[in-house]
Amino acid sequence: MLHVAAYGSVGAKRYRSHEIAIIDENSSYLGVERRLLMENAGASVARVVMNEIPDISSSTVLVVAGPGNNGGDAFVAARHLSGRAAKVHVVLLAHPTQIRTEEAAANWRALEKMKVGVETHTALDPASLAALQSLFQEADIIIDGIFGTGIRGEIREPFRSAIEFINSSNARIFSIDVPSGVDPNNGEYSLAVKPHVTVTLHGPKPFMYVLGGEAGRVYVEGIGAPPEAEVIAGPGDLAYVKSLTRRVRGAVVRGVGELAEGAADALSIFGVEPETEGAGGEFVVRVEDVSAGGVAEASAGRRILVRPVERPSIEEAVKLSRSAGIPVYLVGCDDAISDGVCAKSNWLEPPTDSGYVAGVMTALSATFASWEAEPIYALGAACYSARHALKNGGSSNRAAYLERLRMLISEK
């Protein structure tokens, strides 16, 4: 039995942007789709608004939304508040065709069909936004859904003007997840919404401990992501690692037999023909990346310990990682991964069926770690990808298995 509460992090950590993205993707893998998470997020925001202002029947609500999933959360909040407020206006700071995800687009389309309680608007540039400035001036409540945890770089128009309009209004301001303009990972900003209330989603974020009162009253609201989404080694781990992809400069495989063969073949996926050292002693995979000179080794006593175990357990992996002071990957039936603090496993994919696959996992672990991926996610990505590729044929046909693995790792 996997005791998720013991090794999950809900309520115990500060979630960075890439960790939220991993959780979202792994939730979908577990059957809790992104659209459901968005519905829960928007409903939570609406509940907080009504908790802060119990009677909004005479209030005008303005929802200001960007084209990402933060905007999608805002669309849902608008729908939940319609019929309770006197009027709900929604301003999309993009053309509807620029909405980035289908779940957000579906919620926008729903708002467009609501001709009684909701009025939708679009603003593509400062001029079209200025034509809507009276909405900001007349609003009693403004919901900021411009940017979420994915903000990067300088704030461009019309987002910059929208933030300025929000801050100059007399409305009570609610920000979704993070005040727009603030880097959620460190609290830094050059221009940001100044909310009275921030509704941060799933769990605490680092910005909360930097901004203090600048984020207003902060609510931390769950969105229904299963706690297993943090524990399972899944496609979210792989997507994170792939976002860091670098060229491999060189690799060394030391050892003989299936383990060494699997490692060498896995490295060929990255265009590398490793040096081989077939002498006796421990099995070692050493990978060096091109851009940063990052080096990772997977072997006993080095940066990553990868060890075949007949029936690995999370408890055993955590204990071993803490005692060794390095990340540990116990390869077996369900696999068990730990960096001494967090732990991962996978109970949905086919189990490792040979020493050859264990060698593949070792090479992937070293490669992903050499890209400077955080070890817990590097090993999670290796676990998921090597085992997912076992579907539809196992590893008995090595060429077919490697091709499935290659496609999984290379697909966008």
Please write the tens of the pLDDT for every residue from 99-148.
Answer: 999 999 999 999 999 989 999 999 999 999 999 999 999 999 999 999 98
Q: Between residues 290 and 192, which one has the greater pLDDT?
A: 192
Pick the CATH number of 233-410 from 3.40.50.980, 3.90.1480.20, 3.40.1190.20, 3.40.640.10: 3.40.1190.20
C-alpha dihedral, 215 to 61 to 80 to 227, nearest 10°: -10
pLDDT, averaged across the chain? 90
Q: Is 3.30.360.10 the CATH classification of the domain at 33-224?
A: no
The mean pLDDT value for 334-339 works out to 93
- State yes or no: pLDDT of 308 exceeds 90: no
- State yes or no: pLDDT of 72 exceeds 80: yes
State pLDDT tens for residues 188-232.
999 999 999 999 999 999 999 999 899 999 999 999 999 999 999
Q: Where are the beta strands (DSSP E) in 127-183?
A: 141-145, 172-176
pLDDT of res. 277: 64
Q: Give the relative orientation of helices 235-242 and 17-29 as an angle to the nearest 10 degrees.
A: 140
pLDDT band, very low/low/confident/very high, at 245 (cuts 50, 70, 90): confident
pLDDT of res. 334: 86
Q: Where in the chain is the domain with CATH 3.40.50.10260?
A: 33-224
Sheet holding 275-277: strands in order across?
275-277, 248-254, 284-289, 295-298
pLDDT of res. 207: 95
Q: Where in the chain is the domain with CATH 3.40.1190.20?
A: 233-410
pLDDT of res. 4: 42
Q: What percent of the chain has pLDDT over 70?
A: 91
Q: Rounded to whole angstroms, how far apart are CA atoms 253 and 273? A: 10
Sheet holding 343-344: strands in order across?
305-308, 328-331, 336-338, 343-344
User: Residue 102: exposed, middle, or buried by beta-carbon count in 10 A (0-12, 13-18, 19+)?
Assistant: exposed
- State yes or no: pLDDT of 278 exceeds 70: no
pLDDT of res. 332: 86
Helical ranges in 53-156 per DSSP H: 69-81, 102-112, 126-130, 133-138
pLDDT of res. 293: 37
The mean pLDDT value for 273-296 works out to 55
